[in-house]
Structure 1
Amino acid sequence: MTEKYDAMLDQMVKDYSLVTHGYSGEAPANPYPMFEYRRSQCPVMHGDLLQESRVPSMADYMMTGRPVVTLYRYDDIHSVLMNPNDWLSHIVADGFGAAVDNLLLTAMDGEEHKKYRKTLQKPFMRGQIRKLMDTLIRPVVVNEFVEQLRPKGRADLLREFALPFPIRAMYAYFGFPHDEDLLGNLASWAIQVVAAPQTDPEVAKVTIPKSMVAGQSMLETLMPIVQEYRARGEMRNDILGYMMTTEHEGDSFSDEEIANFIRMLLLAAGETTTRSFANMIVQLLENPQVMEEVRQDRSLVPKAVTETMRRDPTAGAVARIAARDMEIGGVIIPEGTAVLCSIASANRDPEVYENPDRLWLKRPMRPLLSFGFGPHMCMGMHMAMTEMEVALEEILQLPNLRLDPDYRKPEIRGLNMRGPDALHVIWDTD
């Protein structure tokens, strides 16, 4: 590992930690007992769960005083996410949209969203992504990370694996040149944009201007990459190649439009996969009998991904806003009121999941809400899940993988953007 690469990882950890701290606030690291109580006592609650704990809330990122109702039950949340006509998504852009010129697919509504998603989703569909499993993702995971770690016998898997590998794989699929400085800069800028919303006004005075600079730096870095790609004239089977050869409503995308779209994708290119993978490994290490099940039967790897994402999702909440007066669970939600949907609570709703706290790989699954659901389901879901499957398969090749007793046990925390601060593990090298 070069000093430059080491410094890049240090910066990525620093930026990642800023997000973790910001989205933890004053909430307990384990919020599930609180969710259990509220699901039974006030499943449709007037007030904002996240703001209560001084966590930035997409229901009212800028703390304008918008009325907010928090939902805790699976069926209520599922019904909201499946109804984009009455529950709008534009408030998603309130927090960090300005840093990317408010170009966020997740914040589009109606026909605009339908048309853009139809145009852009092809390279992210499951069939396309599964083709990359052994041609792109596994070579990156094995050759650039796992084989480098194997002789060491110990690592902080968050710093040395979970943070860099999804970014490296995704950037390769974008069509970017393999350059450590490029990878590190874009990754850090993307996380700085995500870290912009803060409930502490003094911290926000730093993070919001920093996010604006980061967003502009991303665009200025991406534009020459896009221009050089087009100038070569070699349209490869990657995202840049797709965007240069496809049309949206009869028009080709300009270089600036492509750079803006790629910048939007970068905000989720690594952060969600990093946290979801780290959360999965923590849960498996805490349940060694389940980890052994997966080790002995690799067909359970996809189940391990979905079940750990159900049991402790990275994206703990999403928000929508009422387009008209609505009713949920007998409670009137006036037009213009935001609903904060507690995905983490819904994922442990005992009305939907038997013994919901248990990590059970053969659990009968309902539609997973951890990537959202309905028309706004995360477009990068299949990439993230495939990356996690490959990563788990290969990490399990490290013999006798276990927590490092020289460090504190990792703790998953945060009401949103949940994840551990570090993941120190050891394995046998003989």
Structure 2
Amino acid sequence: MNAVTKTQALEKMARDFAAVSGVYNGADVTSPYEQMKEWREKTPVLEGDILRIFRAPSQADWMGTGRKVYTVFRYKDVHQILRDDRNWLSKQNAEGFGSAVDNFLLTGMDGEEHHKWRAILQPPMMPNAIKKWKDNLICPIIEDEFIGAMRPKGKSDLLLDFVLAFPVRVVYKMFGLPDDMVAAMQSAGWALQIVGGPRFDPEEMKTSIPAAMEAGQRLYEYVLPAVQERRKSGVVRDDMIGFLMGLNVDGKSFTDEDITTFIRMTLLAAGETTSRSFGNMIVLLLERPDVWERLRQDRSLIPKAVVETMRLETVAGHLARLAARDMEIGGVTIKKDEAVTVCISSANRDPEVYANPDELILDRPMRPVMSFGFGPHICMGMHLAKLEMEIALNAMLDLPNFRLDPDYPKPVIRGIQLRGPDQLHVKWDVA
């Protein structure tokens, strides 16, 4: 694996990242918000799947079975569905990715099974647990490995030099995987291949799904020896592998295979969403120099900037749920086993909840933002992702006169799902 150089591994990961972007941007969407606004006002529960309308893979019907799907646009309806895991199920999520990860997928579990595994696996991801990683892991990786190398250059292809790589480095080290950036980038590419497995075109799925299955196996084969080596060494470390080795579930300890399966599942979302969210944040802030300067002068506003930019440009803008029984939402009856796609991107811009919803307002009164989902299935890694982005933004603010590079086209945030910029060239002053 190490015969590949760091540059080659990053470039390959960037191609895989772009390929996933293409899968979820089949209709070449730059700004879907006017159309969402129209639906939210006139047809808040739309018969049809917004993702398929925009030629992206459905999350409500991954495998194209013909399941009837509705799309829900208003904040209050999205909120109601996501918080009710008894009547609105998540099991359909396992149809797309489940087989690539041996059907161990928290986002595809329901009821007691989900509550059990979430309670077991969540403690290392809680805010107090995450804080310990700040000074001894996250800051050194961001500031020493990445920003320190970038600072003397005065310019950067920020996606390639920083945005794609730093969340992967943080998560892989936190898990206790080998401290090998090249291997981490290559294995992150396999995770991206899994995410890109579902397609809009059924013909494409004949090759993309087997490729995702193969990528899932390769990711497993990368993680397992690291777990086995740790077990063999007997070394006790305060990382995710160490935590999992100490677990006892129903009177049984986790095997190396159990640990590997869990880590593989987690790696599917360990870096990409953070990368896209951070890229979106930098674009939005650099397009507003007055906001950037305000943040530079007052770093206490950084957490608000993270939340507000994620509200304005939500990466995972759509989730799906399955009706456990006949349900009514927004005056529309959804029959048992029919599905809804909840449009978080629309809910996050609902004027009934957010005044002037299309504007970036740092002083906006705090409201629950559903960019990490909501309810029992809210993203387990949200606290880590937010902390990573806060530290990374603080580092960017320290670069003098940090700005978009005028020698390149302005970055454009694209996609109906997994939205993000296609390129992000920046520059800054060097003393």
| Fold match by TM threshold 0.5 | yes
Q: Which letter maps to 1:406? A: D
Q: Which letter maps to 1:365? A: M
Q: Which letter maps to 1:138? A: C
Q: Which letter maps to 1:45? A: L
Which stretch shows the higher mean deviation, 245-254 or 143-152?
A: 245-254
Q: Which letter maps to 1:20? A: S
Shift, 1:180, TM fit: 2.7
Shift, 1:19, TM fit: 0.7
Q: Which residue of 1 aligns with 2:183?
A: 182
The count of aligned residue pairs is 429
Which stretch shows the higher mean deviation, 65-74 or 249-258?
A: 249-258
1:327 alignment partner, SS class? strand
- How far, CA to CA, are the matches of 1:208 and 1:170 in structure 2? 26
Q: Which residue of 2 aligns with 1:264?
A: 265
Shift, 1:83, TM fit: 0.3
- Cα pair 2:191 2:215 within 8 Å, conserved: yes
Shift, 1:132, TM fit: 1.1
Q: Which letter maps to 1:367? A: P
Q: Which letter maps to 2:77? A: D
- Cα pair 1:45 1:71 within 8 Å, conserved: yes
Aligned counterparts, 1:382-421, within 5 A: 382-421=383-422
- How far, CA to CA, are the matches of 2:181 and 2:325 in structure 1? 49
CA distances 1:23-81 after superposition (whole Å, capped 9, x unpaired): 01115310111111110010011110010111011111111110001000001000001
Q: Which residue of 1 aligns with 2:159?
A: 158
Aligned counterparts, 1:316-395, within 5 A: 316-395=317-396
- Cα pair 2:4 2:182 within 8 Å, conserved: no
- How far, CA to CA, are the matches of 2:77 and 2:310 in structure 1? 20
- How far, CA to CA, are the matches of 1:57 and 1:144 in structure 2? 38
Q: Which residue of 2 aligns with 1:57?
A: 58
Aligned counterparts, 1:281-296, within 5 A: 281-296=282-297
Q: Which residue of 2 aligns with 1:207?
A: 208
Shift, 1:243, TM fit: 0.4
2:340 alignment partner, SS class? strand
CA distances 1:271-324 after superposition (whole Å, capped 9, x unpaired): 010000001001001111111111110000100100000111110100000000
Matched, 1:226 2:227: yes
Aligned counterparts, 1:234-253, within 5 A: 234-253=235-254
- How far, CA to CA, are the matches of 2:4 and 2:339 in structure 1? 47
Q: Which residue of 2 aligns with 1:8?
A: 9
- Cα pair 1:119 1:247 within 8 Å, conserved: no
- How far, CA to CA, are the matches of 1:427 and 1:265 in structure 2? 35
- How far, CA to CA, are the matches of 1:419 and 1:207 in structure 2? 22
Q: Which residue of 2 aligns with 1:105?
A: 106
Shift, 1:250, TM fit: 2.6
Change (3 A) 1:100 1:3: closer
Matched, 1:81 2:82: yes
- How far, CA to CA, are the matches of 2:22 and 2:369 in structure 1? 26
Which stretch shows the higher mean deviation, 251-260 or 180-189?
A: 180-189
Shift, 1:202, TM fit: 4.2
2:191 alignment partner, SS class? helix
Runs of 4+ in 1 over 3 A off after TM superposition: none
Shift, 1:96, TM fit: 2.0
- Cα pair 2:100 2:212 within 8 Å, conserved: yes
- How far, CA to CA, are the matches of 2:429 and 2:4 in structure 1? 27
Shift, 1:3, TM fit: 7.5
1:95 alignment partner, SS class? helix
Shift, 1:200, TM fit: 2.5
- How far, CA to CA, are the matches of 2:350 and 2:28 in structure 1? 20
Q: State the superposition RMSD in angstroms.
A: 1.1
Matched, 1:92 2:93: yes
In percent, how many aligned pairs have the same letter?
54
Shift, 1:184, TM fit: 1.8
- Cα pair 2:319 2:344 within 8 Å, conserved: yes
2:39 alignment partner, SS class? helix
CA distances 1:92-135 after superposition (whole Å, capped 9, x unpaired): 11112211111101110011101101000010001111221111
Return the TM-score normalized by structure 1: 0.98
Shift, 1:220, TM fit: 1.3
1:90 alignment partner, SS class? coil
Q: Which letter maps to 2:420? A: G
Q: Which residue of 1 aligns with 2:172?
A: 171
- Cα pair 1:235 1:242 within 8 Å, conserved: no
- How far, CA to CA, are the matches of 1:249 and 1:379 in structure 2? 22
Q: Which residue of 2 aligns with 1:125?
A: 126
Q: Which letter maps to 1:336? A: D
Q: Which letter maps to 1:350? A: P
Where do 5+ consecutive residues of structure 1 fail to align?
Answer: none
Shift, 1:249, TM fit: 2.5
- Cα pair 2:72 2:78 within 8 Å, conserved: yes
2:414 alignment partner, SS class? coil
1:393 alignment partner, SS class? helix
- How far, CA to CA, are the matches of 1:32 and 1:255 in structure 2? 46
- Cα pair 1:99 1:211 within 8 Å, conserved: yes
Shift, 1:208, TM fit: 1.5
CA distances 1:131-173 after superposition (whole Å, capped 9, x unpaired): 2111110000001000100011111111110100000011010
- How far, CA to CA, are the matches of 1:339 and 1:63 in structure 2? 15
Q: Which letter maps to 1:316? A: G
Aligned counterparts, 1:132-143, within 5 A: 132-143=133-144
- How far, CA to CA, are the matches of 1:249 and 1:421 in structure 2? 47
- Cα pair 1:89 1:107 within 8 Å, conserved: yes
- Cα pair 1:95 1:197 within 8 Å, conserved: yes
Which stretch shows the higher mean deviation, 261-270 or 232-241?
A: 232-241
- How far, CA to CA, are the matches of 2:4 and 2:330 in structure 1? 57
- How far, CA to CA, are the matches of 1:24 and 1:197 in structure 2? 13
